[in-house]
Amino acid sequence: MIYLFTSITCSVIVGVLLKLAKRYEISITQAVTWNYLFAIFLSLFFFKPDVSSFNIAQISPVYIVLGFLLPGIFIILGLSVKTAGLARTDIAQRLSLIISLSAAYFLFNEKFDSFKEIGLVFGFIAIFLILYRKSEHTAHIKSWLYLLLVFGGFGIIDILFKMVSQITDIPYTTSLFYIYSLAFVLSLIYTLYLASRKREKLQLINFICGCILGFFNFGNILFYLKAHKAMADNPSTVFAAMNFGVIIAGTLVGIIIFKEKLSKINYLGLIAALIAILLITLSKIYAV
């Protein structure tokens, strides 16, 4: 579980950095681009992937899809927050767990025991209770489109990283290097487009923030993959614990650091999430 804990910590820090970026008017697009460049350097430094024997046949279609989705989901998140609001966007992101768990059952042929089934029920209840907000926001077709893209995008990314962990002909650290490289090239093309067509200035502060973001994003994905490899027979445990853990940790950070106010319903959601994680953890120990 140490891999999951580390991945959750890095994920929450990434969220905090993105929230601070909006506050201090940091360009998300530029920061995301340099984030992948920094992740490439981290991969080269720590893992020393053998790229001398690179063969185009090694590039799995999974890498290509992730190369598009990883930078793309950041842009979609920003558009969704702008049109649908932060709370609804967060709900859509966390509800993508439905896609992940469906894949664990139908695609990866995992059998669910009673502890896990009850834990997942508590988990979904927790998502709605924690993210519940009274809002007068009026629904709009465009906002629902972005919410749907967030929901589907994060669910597909979870599944694809599980598939990357199952690739055996090359090390998963080399797989990460390929994915980061492709994501960087694609996001760089988009950044240069904005600079030339939209007159968006390239600034040093965005590069610095991107490097910091890249460090934690690198850790998030690396340890998420390690968790899937360590619990290869229990993908639903990784999917669920990751999502519920991020919700609990992110909510606590919001209360302590950003002084966000929670209702009694939100606190009930935190309790439900803790019960969910406890039951899912017990499912690894006992079979009912």
Q: What is the pLDDT of residues 143-153, one digit of tens each?
A: 788 888 988 99
Give the whole-angstrom CA distance, residue 36 versus residue 115: 38
Answer whether residue 288 shows pLDDT above 50: no
Indicate the range of 74-78, 115-119, 127-131, 162-166 predicted with least confidence: 127-131
Torsional sign, CA 112, 114, 120, 125: positive
In the chain, how long is the greatest CA-to-CA distance?
Answer: 61
Residue that the structure tokens 């899912």 belong to: 280
> Sorting pLDDT into bands at 50, 70 and 90, what band is 188?
very high
pLDDT digits (tens, 9 = 90+) for 195-251: 998 788 899 999 999 999 999 989 988 898 888 888 887 787 788 888 778 777 877
More confident residue, 228 or 185: 185
- This prediction has a pTM of 0.79
Query: Hey, is 183 helix, strand or coil?
Result: helix
71 contacts: CB under 8 Å, gap ≥ 6: 32, 33, 36, 183, 186, 187, 190
